């Protein structure tokens, strides 16, 4: 299961199933899950910057690592 934790497509499918199931429930827990549904889908975060800012804070090769990933 851990190998699938970064799979955004699978998280959309799973979250749709959770939202559907919680929509059929009347419990407070189901209502709370529905109120937090935006957190169920895996999100991708990208940060871009030039060499200057990275060098200033001590991460001189950070942008190179991101570019080669």
Q: How far apart are CA 57 and CA 64, in angstroms?
A: 15
pLDDT digits (tens, 9 = 90+) for 12-63: 899 999 999 999 999 999 999 999 999 888 888 777 766 666 555 656 566 6
Q: Which residue is listed with tokens 């109120």?
A: 35
First to last CA, the chain: 23
Instruction: Name the pLDDT band for 8 (thresholds 50, 70, 90).
Output: confident
């Amino acid at each position: 299961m851990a190998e699938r934790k970064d799979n955004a497509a699978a998280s959309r499918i799973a979250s749709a199933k959770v939202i559907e199931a919680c929509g059929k429930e009347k419990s407070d827990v189901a209502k709370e899950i529905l109120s937090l549904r935006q957190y169920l889908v895996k999100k991708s975060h990208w940060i871009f910057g030039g060499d200057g800012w990275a060098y200033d804070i001590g991460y001189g090769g950070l942008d190179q690592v991101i570019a080669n990933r």
